[in-house]
Structure formats: structure tokens, C-alpha cells
Amino acid sequence: MVLNKLCGLEKNPAPLELTELPDPVPTVEEILVKISACGVCHTELDEIEGRTPPPHLPVVPGHQVVGRVEAVSSGANSFSIGDRVGIAWIYSACGTCKFCLAGTENLCPYFKASGRDANGGYAQYMTVQEGFAYHIPNVFSDSEAAPLLCAGAIGYRSLRLTNLKDGQNLGLTGFGASGHLVLKMVRHQYPNTKVFVFARSKKEREFSGKLGAVWSGDIGEDSPEKLDCVIDTTPAWISVVESLKNLEPGGRLIINAIGKEEADKESLLCLDYPVHLWLEKEIKSVANISRRDVREFLAMAAEMRIKPEIQEFVLEEANEALVELKTRNIRGAKVLKIE
């Protein structure tokens, strides 16, 4: 499924075209992966609608990829043909800059993303450097594993950046693929922490309660208790302002989004210093993910049996899945099954 031009989904609800392409050929230290599942992420909407545009078109989106190794090139020796592997948002990095040498290659100035800077997983085949592929634990099916590679890993990084301590209050603004996995993590890692969920959709709020949230409300509501940390997973600006309002003094807001939409940017004009920022409240963004995030989260998810709620679509239904994501028709994570 190929993106040939940028567009808004309101005007064009079918931005991806089913296309026959030559099978990719792995180069030195690369593997060829025959894809069986690929998660659908809000970042694909950011690419299609131009908030994080691909550097060239056409491109095949998709960065939550699960499949089996079909071929290995010279210099690739970490995987064997038939191994089940995953590919995440981080497609490559330079390996020599100060960030890569420190293990924070997510900040590398030459960072490349799967499905944006290189053809991704909305297809039957994909190539990647072997150092940017991951063994998938046996406890997960292909469709269960796919959302873990981005929604799960970025949620894991976001939770780590909160510096949350057991017993503190956590807020989750937005409750899609990443938010519901964070809630599952918190229930295992922080048994005394209460989670408060803010979401526009009544279905999302009800879903959060079934997974263990102690309270849920609309994004503009006041939480019944002040929050030590909030993770914002929405594409909106208003959620930043509302989340800051609910923080304790010294609290931290983590923005888990690669981009924010322009529609409600004027809401930032409502930012009131004494209400939203004073008393050492802190805002921190999440930039991409590192390979460490993916490896650690996959291991933790396998050990704790953390599995996402999923909705499956066939590859040809990718546009339908994206429209549902755009219109907030969400329960867990959406996954393309690729035959």
C-alpha cells in the first residue's frame, strides 16, 4: 500500500494505493523479511497529512512490522532464515555521533524511520539492517507482537521518563494503542499507583475502566486527585494545557507524540503561568525510540504476559483502518494481516 502524495484524510479517505512493486533485495548486513503483520499507528496519519512528511515519495508506510527472515546478505549473521523478527520505528542511525555512542540513537541527527525514510511494513516484504531487527518472544502471535514494537515501546519509554514511583498518581491523556499498553504496564510494575484516564471518546473511557483505571473523564475535566505525572498520547494541543492544570507541584508531563495537529493550536493562548506552569511543573517530549527501548519492552512484555487488545484488517483495508484511527474509532491497536 503506497503513499504517492500528501493529503488530508477528510478530503481523501483513501490516500494509499494498492501497488505491485519489485521484491526488495537486501544489501550488506541486511535481512529480507517476509511480513505477516504490521501495526497501524497515528504516526502514519502524521506522514500522510504532512506533519512529519517523508523525504521522498512514493513510500510504503508502516513501522510495527512482524515477519520471518526470508534471506540474509553477506555480513549478516544475527538471524537465520525462518527466524521470526520485528522491525520498529527506528530503521537506522549513524552509529558514530555522540548520541549513538551514548545509546540514545533516537536523538541521532541521521536517524531514519521505517515507513517514512525507507519503505516500511504495509507490504509483503521489507529489508532492514540486522542490527535494527529484534527476535519476537514466542508468547505473542504475530498480530499481538506488532503493536508492541511502537505503541508498546514508546509507551515504555514514556513511562520510564516520568520517573514514576509506586503509589504516585498517573494520568493518561488519550487512550489508544499506546495508552492502553501503558495502563497494563503500570498495573504490573506499580501496584499501588492509581491511573486516571482522560479521553474524548466514551468508548475509550469505558475501555480504560475495564483495564483498571480508577477514574476516567473527558480531556477538559478536572481529575478528582492531583497527578504526579501525566503521559499525553493525543495529537491535540488542548490536552497539553489541560494536563498541566491537573499536575501536582513539581509534576511532570510527558508528551508522547511525534507531532501535534494545527487545528487547536490557539488553545496554547490559554496557557496561564500560575495555573499551568508555576511551582516547578515540567514538560518533556519523547523523541522516537531507541533499540534499548524495544529490546527491554519486548522482554518485559513477555515476562509479564502483557498483550495488546487488537483489531485486525487485511492489507487492502489499510485506508479503512487509518480513517477509523482519524475519527477516533479506537479500541486497543489496529493491525494489518498480510498474506
Q: How many residues does the chain have?
A: 339
Strands 84-87 and 310-314: unpaired
> Would you list the domain boundaries of the chain?
2-150+289-337, 153-285
Specify the pTM.
Answer: 0.91
Contact in structure between 256 and 181 (CB atoms under 8 Å): no
Per-10-residue mean pLDDT of the chain, 339 residues long, equals 96 96 96 98 94 96 98 95 98 98 96 98 98 97 96 95 97 92 94 96 93 96 97 92 96 90 82 91 95 96 92 97 89 91
Compute CA distances 153 → 79, 90, 141, 293, 335, whole Å. Answer: 22, 11, 17, 6, 16
Residue with cell 498483550: 307
If one looks up domain 2-150+289-337 in CATH, what number appears? 3.90.180.10
Q: Which fold has domain 153-285?
A: Rossmann fold (3.40.50)
**What pLDDT is stored for residue 119 in this prediction?**
98
Fold match, 2-150+289-337 / 153-285: no
User: In this predicted structure, what is the pLDDT of residue 263?
Assistant: 79
Q: How far apart are CA 58 and CA 21, in angstroms?
A: 11
Residue 302 has a CB neighbour count (10 Å cut-off) of 17
Residue 213: the pLDDT is 97
Cβ burial 197-231 (10 Å sphere, 16+ → b, else e): bbbbbeebbebbeebebebbeebeeebeeebbbbb
Residue 176 CB coordination number (10 Å)? 24
**Hey, what's the cell of 181?**
499498553
Which pLDDT does position 146 carry in this prediction? Answer: 97
